[in-house]
Structure 1
């Protein structure tokens, strides 16, 4: 298991309280909370220098359901090294994404390519 993954594991199962994509500043911010034996632990998660991201709402025909969620849990949080987002078609095939983080929320995924990640005060280098 990578050192990055070890640092991400604390976010597994946390509930997302706030979620913001800031295109202007190339950031994705999450505020999450874990409750363990009645004790709340809050996490501020900031992806900095975001290069690309892709949201996929479920798989198959389930992706067409856009019902509002009552709450959002991080079902999985993974550091990934061998993924790519490739677009096909005139003009758009020049764009590519190489995500290094996968966030699973229910049956949906958010793939993020970012240079740095902060979890509370812990700075994590993801890419150069």
Structure 2
């Protein structure tokens, strides 16, 4: 099951529904609860994203904008291309600038939740390989 499951599934911003819209750019299951969408005539999206243990998104780049991650529960990873991965815990904040290739997701043994504030468009790239991922935390 993984640690922090109850904390993530019962977090303040809601657990959301199975993230089928973006399933093709995630390894494992994620759950999405849209809090503010572009349909609200605001040019940023705000979502609570919840990851099961081992779940991570593909490498990606934000164009014409940025992304801010506010970690709310569990433990996860954030990595920019060419840099070591950072372990994330509740209260951590990550500011991702336009054009920076990166990925984020849960650790192998913990559920993970963050609020994603995103402006612009995302370019989805290759998956984070099992070999890359399995080396984290060693």
TM-score of the two chains, using structure 1 as the length reference: 0.25
Give the greater-gyration-radius structure (CA): 1
Q: Which has the higher contact order (CA 8 A, sep 6+)?
A: 2
TM-score of the two chains, using structure 2 as the length reference: 0.24
Higher relative strand content = 1
